[in-house]
């Protein structure tokens, strides 16, 4: 049975071979290592001596003198400690990233993503962002949700939007370029002005640019392109990872290395392998065990460990007998296997130089986004005088999409408004009329039939659970020009009217329902609601 650490290693290897990881980036030596004995993380030095006592439920490596940690207990919070183990930034956050470009993103209870400096001072708040990634080369990717779905853009360190949200997904900037995905699932590269400099054409972009080259995928094969998008190595490997000067490759289920021209320099022969990451030895799996090879592919440390990781400085993390320890470049233990676990952030850092904690999601429940999405005067650009021909045009449908046996037609289904709210929209009315055909009567679509009403339904999920009344009250406050009918309203349903329209507003479980109709259609609409209940 594989250990948790082995599963983590396999997932990380797959991630960095198939995403935007950067195995070729040399990483700084970690002086204080977060390890776990029992339930909490502690920090040890390179000799195995405890420097910061066990007390954290999660812990990261130190970056610029600060480490992101999570407290233990019933209500754990994230904060930042200095190398003496004392909190430099009070643990008060529900979520947080490590520092990058001198800023970290944090999220408080019911708060939006906020960037702080090393003193804990707030520098940026992105109120409308759903998710934010760490800064890289002065830009941070952030996502918003609109009527089309999730879109990604970039802000600078002043919080100004530098590239408008328009991409389905993004990587991070490296060497002035960033991989982005369009709505058709193709990847290309943009510059810092958001200009497309390498056309959308790739299935994936495996890693960021490094040394003027980037790994991409086409037809499920990995290759190498230059800064102009021209192939330097044609797509031919199952996977390919930048490893400094050379590349870790997968071919026919085995791992080896090739040079920058695609020439194989270490034959693919290992069950699994991790990059050299700037060191003389790389961890490989041969048979059932893990050991280390040199840059000629010669085994230097025999396969004997349950799992082995890239070197960091003079030491490498290994696991044996279910315990974690550290060896030197001769394969001798410097710190005997004695720890129960290692911080996943430390493992990620060894692979890529980056962190397990590179992004945060908002905890802000955005009622305003829900309210602004609903238009009771001109629902989805239509009116109570619109014809069904206009409905067809508006929603790009044909007569065959309408059933002659219905009077409620679903036009929008579960469209994301935010991460916590989905919208559905119906058009009400009779789109078919009876036409005599000899001895028979048949129903024929009538494009001139007038719409009788509309229904908005907002389904709350995630952070929206339990907030139905708050959302309903906020929506009702937006009914400008309408007056509540105190006589007809009930505890279950509020009714609003102006000189032409009626709005029925009620909740149904986690859903807020808004029904819009003509005054003349009010009784018929209400009857349909009662029948639906």
Q: State how far the Cα of 278 lies from the Cα of 26, in Å rounded to an integer.
A: 5
The pLDDT tens digits for 502-527 are 999 999 999 999 999 987 555 444 44
E strand residue ranges, 221-379: 221-225, 231-237, 239-243, 246-251, 254-258, 264-270, 272-273, 282-286, 289-293, 299-305, 307-312, 315-320, 323-327, 333-339, 341-342, 359-361
Q: At a CB cut-off of 8 Å and minimum separation 6, what does 19 contact?
A: 204, 206, 207
pTM as predicted? 0.78
Report which DSSP code applies to 30: P
pLDDT tops 60 at residue 416: yes
Segment 389-404, tens digit of pLDDT: 999 999 999 998 998 8
Name the pLDDT band for 205 (thresholds 50, 70, 90).
low
Alpha-carbon distance of 277 to 8, in angstroms, equals 18
pLDDT at 82: 98
State the pLDDT at residue 525: 46
Check residue 97 and give its pLDDT.
98
The mean pLDDT of the chain is 90
Q: What is the pLDDT of residue 20?
A: 41
Mean pLDDT check: name the lowest of 25-29, 195-199, 393-397.
25-29
Q: What is the pLDDT of residues 230-264, one digit of tens each?
A: 999 999 999 999 898 899 999 999 999 999 999 99
Domain boundaries, the chain: 4-361, 367-532
Task: Report whether 359 contacts 135 (CB < 8 A).
Answer: no
- Name the token pair of 380: 């989805």
What pLDDT is recorded for position 112?
94
pLDDT of residue 419: 82
User: What pLDDT does 358 receive?
Assistant: 96
Q: Give CA–CA dist 307/285, Å, rounded.
A: 8
Helix/strand/coil for 253: coil
Q: Is 4-361 in CATH node 1.20.120?
A: no
Which pLDDT does position 182 carry in this prediction? 95
C-beta of residue 317 within 8 angstroms of C-beta of residue 349? no
Mean pLDDT to the nearest integer, 300-328 = 94
* Crossing angle for the helix pair 4-18 and 344-352, to the nearest 10 degrees: 30
List the one residue out of 173, 206, 174 whose CA is nearest residue 187. 206
User: What pLDDT was estimated at residue 405?
Assistant: 86
Distance CA 317, CA 324 (A): 7
Q: Is the pLDDT of residue 6 over 90?
A: no
């Amino acid at each position: 049975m594989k250990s948790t650490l082995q599963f983590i290693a396999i997932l990380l290897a797959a991630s960095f071979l198939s995403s935007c990881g950067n195995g070729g980036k040399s990483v700084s030596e970690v002086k204080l290592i977060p390890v776990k004995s029992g339930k909490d993380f502690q920090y040890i030095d390179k000799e195995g001596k405890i420097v910061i006592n066990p007390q954290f439920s999660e812990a990261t490596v130190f970056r610029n003198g600060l480490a992101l940690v999570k407290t233990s207990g019933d209500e754990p919070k994230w904060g930042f400690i200095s190398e003496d183990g004392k909190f430099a930034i009070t643990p008060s956050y529900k979520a947080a990233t490590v520092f990058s470009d001198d800023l970290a993103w944090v999220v408080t209870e019911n708060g939006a993503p906020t960037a702080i400096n090393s003193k804990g001072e707030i520098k940026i708040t992105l109120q409308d962002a759903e998710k934010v990634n760490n800064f890289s080369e002065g830009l941070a990717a952030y996502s918003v949700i609109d009527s089309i779905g999730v879109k990604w853009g970039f802000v600078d360190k002043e919080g100004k939007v530098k590239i408008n949200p328009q991409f389905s997904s993004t990587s991070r900037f490296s060497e002035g370029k960033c991989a982005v995905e369009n709505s058709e699932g193709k990847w290309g590269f943009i510059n810092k002005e958001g200009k497309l400099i390498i056309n959308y054409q790739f299935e994936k972009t495996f890693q960021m640019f490094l040394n003027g080259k980037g790994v991409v995928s086409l037809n499920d094969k990995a290759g190498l392109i230059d800064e102009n998008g021209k192939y330097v190595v044609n797509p031919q490997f199952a996977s390919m990872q930048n490893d400094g000067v050379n590349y870790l490759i997968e071919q026919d289920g085995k791992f080896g290395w090739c040079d920058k021209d695609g020439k194989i320099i270490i034959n693919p022969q290992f069950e699994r392998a991790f990059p050299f990451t700037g060191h003389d030895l790389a961890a490989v799996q041969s048979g059932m065990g893990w050991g280390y090879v040199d840059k000629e592919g010669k085994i230097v440390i025999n396969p004997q460990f349950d799992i082995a990781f890239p070197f960091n400085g003079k030491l490498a993390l290994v696991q044996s007998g279910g315990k974690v320890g550290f060896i030197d470049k001769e394969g001798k233990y410097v710190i005997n296997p004695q720890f129960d676990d290692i911080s996943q952030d430390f493992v990620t850092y060894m692979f890529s130089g980056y962190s397990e904690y590179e992004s945060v999601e908002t905890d802000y429940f955005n009622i305003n986004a829900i309210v602004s999405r609903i238009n009771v005067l001109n629902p989805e650009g239509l009116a109570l005088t619109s014809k069904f021909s206009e409905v067809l045009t508006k929603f790009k449908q044909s007569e065959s999409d309408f059933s002659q046996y219905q009077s409620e037609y679903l036009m929008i289904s579960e469209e994301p408004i935010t991460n916590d709210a989905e919208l559905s929209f119906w058009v009400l009315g009779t789109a078919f009329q009876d036409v005599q055909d000899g001895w028979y009567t048949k129903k024929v679509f009538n494009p001139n039939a007038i719409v009788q009403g509309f229904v908005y339904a907002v389904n709350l999920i995630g952070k929206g659970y339990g907030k139905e009344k708050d959302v309903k009250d906020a929506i009702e406050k937006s009914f400008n020009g309408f007056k509540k009918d105190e006589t007809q309203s009930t505890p279950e349903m509020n009714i609003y009217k102006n000189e032409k329209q009626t709005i029925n507003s009620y909740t149904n479980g986690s859903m807020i329902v808004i029904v819009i109709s003509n005054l003349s259609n009010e009784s018929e609409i209400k009857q349909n609601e009662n029948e639906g209940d």
